[in-house]
Amino acid sequence: MCYSAQIAADYDKFVREWGAVISLKRFVELFWEKRKDGQWVKIPKSMREAFRKPHGEDDFELAKLVAEGDREQIEKYEVELQAQNQRLAKAEAVLAGPKPTKTAAKDREVASRKIQAAQRNLDDMQRKQLLDKDSRIYPGQYAPVLIEKDGKRIVVPMRYQCRLPGWTEAMERQKPGTYNARRDNLDKAWGKLFGHRHGIMIVTRFYENVSRHKMEGRELRPGEREENVVLAFDPQPPQEMLVACLWNLSPGGDHGTDLFSFAAITDEPPPEILAAGHDRCIVPIKSEHVDAWLKPDPNDLEALYAILDDRARPYYEHRLAA
């Protein structure tokens, strides 16, 4: 499965190359909702930064939301940093006194760890230059997805974890793996979306959890515990991959706001990914199939499977992720 991915959030490129319209209304709703819920960081920095400088009157509200949301998040990190510094100072005072305690030692350890995390998060929020990690999404976070609706191509921000038709939030928590849709299960578990609601996520790299011994092509040694590592897979030559997705709309499903959510389709891996220790791979479709993929015919599923089979096939180099 696709554990996380490096997304492309260049909205001008969506418009220029794919003739898409950016759903500003949905971006405003999402930014407002996540700011209100205290979940601002679920929107990747690259998605926020793309709207920081308005290009026209319609963008001003988004630019304002980005500035206000970032400022509020920075204030939260500053408050956390101050609280943990005070906790650390108090713990160190006890440990330096005549009666040091285990509680103070634990407080010093926890405070030190939280100070590092808060400072790192604060630095990331204040940093102006974008890094690769600013475009990396994980399940539960948001990414721009290209869809076709009412005869128009639209870019909509969607949560990377699909809430299937008829599901409630409680049902979704019981099955948290719906950020990926297996190709061999598309006309079963995903039958209400496959052939009906198709999208494309543009990805430049993806990441997977694998076992170290599988990555090294060996069995576990006697007494050795299984160790997880994260691998980054880069297509060669470097390229933007048009990843086949399924999406859904759950009215009122995000604390009263309509929830757009999606899953990336995965299939059996090419040899180089299998050799690296992983057994799934996202499915990048060819550009010539975009029209047919975004306008699926539910009565011709074989044509849709043919698109998935006739996929783009770059070679995937892998390395340990930083």
Q: Please tell me the predicted confidence (pLDDT) of residue 7.
A: 81
Q: How far apart are CA 147 and CA 150, in angstroms?
A: 10
- Cβ contacts of residue 89 below 8 Å, gap of 6+? none
Q: How many other β-carbons are positioned within 10 Å of the β-carbon of residue 197?
A: 21
Asked if 51 contacts 59 with a C-beta cutoff of 8 angstroms, the reply is: yes
For the chain, domain boundaries:
4-22+131-320
Assign domain 4-22+131-320 one CATH number from 3.40.50.1820, 3.40.190.10, 3.90.1680.10, 2.40.30.20: 3.90.1680.10
In eight-state DSSP terms, residue 58 is G
Q: Please tell me the predicted confidence (pLDDT) of residue 2.
A: 59
Q: Please tell me the predicted confidence (pLDDT) of residue 90.
A: 97
Question: How confident is the model over 181-214, as pLDDT tens digits?
Answer: 999 999 999 999 999 999 999 999 999 999 999 9
Asked if 292 contacts 303 with a C-beta cutoff of 8 angstroms, the reply is: yes
In eight-state DSSP terms, residue 289 is G
Q: What is the pTM assigned to this prediction?
A: 0.93
Extract the residue ranges of the chain whose pLDDT is less than 70.
1-3
- In three-state secondary structure terms, 317 is strand
Q: Please tell me the predicted confidence (pLDDT) of residue 53.
A: 86
Q: How far is CA 127 from CA 38, 51, 69, 114, 220, in A?
A: 20, 16, 15, 20, 42
